[in-house]
Amino acid sequence: MDNMPLRKTLPRLDESLLTHLPPFSRLDRRQIRTILDLATARRYDAGTAIFEEGHPAERFYMLLDGYVRVIRITPTGEQVTALHIPAGQLMGIAKAIGRDTYPATALSATESIVLSWPTRLWDRFIADYDGFATETYKTLGFRLAEVQSRVVEMATQQVEQRVANALLRLINQTGRKVDGGIEIDFPITRQDLSELTATTLHTASRLLSGWEKQGLVQSKRKRITVCDPHALVVLSQT
């Protein structure tokens, strides 16, 4: 995990990087400067593990730029994508859920810039910085709600509905407007999509190919663009 050619220290960062992010939005520049001076800032190449499932939770993290895939390993050794984290969110916050090890692995889906702090500072941040705790637990609530929604989908929906819902969630979280639709703004393969929806690669590929022929999506070079979001909404509810 400590592969220095892939993980590079960045120069001193400006306070303005944190002022708009929810955990720090109520703080003044002096407080933010203190927080930044306690942080380590690193750039991770795409596909690099930022932290790994089961390892001691020695640090917690803030994703400044890029996207991160959260991966779980099943008892049989299979890799499953649990969720995606966009820029501006805390991660690796094992302390907030009463753990001393990371419950999952975080892989950079794109080149990413990440701040991190020693876990021993967690209680100090909670005590000293207004809004840090409330915003952190709000983030945990959103993630729990997303996981619960996926559990319900897997129990009650057909595969076509699950894949449509997964694409809608991704464009809502990370989508950017491009010619022809809304693109998921990080590389995502059909294998990733199959893991997110508890289906097979064959089924996910068949659905995407069919939707491409209908003009609902475009899929190429690990990039997926939703051309007709309304049609996917209809499919997700059918």
Residue 155: per-residue pLDDT: 78
Domain hosting residue 148, numbered range: 4-153
* 177 and 196 share one domain: yes
Q: For the segment 179-197, what is each residue's pLDDT rounded down to a tens digit?
A: 989 999 888 888 888 888 8
Buried b (16+ CB within 10 A) or exposed e, 48-62: bbbbeeeeebebbbb
Do residues 111 and 66 touch, judged by C-beta distance below 8 A?
yes
Which of 138, 153, 168 is where one domain is finished?
153
| Number of domains forming the structure of the chain | 2
Mean pLDDT along residues 203-207: 94
Q: Is the pLDDT of residue 54 over 90?
A: yes
Q: What is this structure's pTM?
A: 0.77
* 176 and 129 share one domain: no
Name, in order, each residue with C-beta under 8 angstroms of 174's C-beta and a sequence gap of 6 or more. 67, 84, 86, 184, 185, 186
Distance (Å, rounded) from C-alpha 184 to C-alpha 164? 13
Say what the alpha-carbon torsion angle 159, 164, 166, 167 is, to the nearest 10 degrees.
Answer: 140
* 95 and 111 share one domain: yes
Q: Is the pLDDT of residue 3 over 60?
A: no
Residue 224: per-residue pLDDT: 93
* 163 and 201 share one domain: yes
* 21 and 100 share one domain: yes
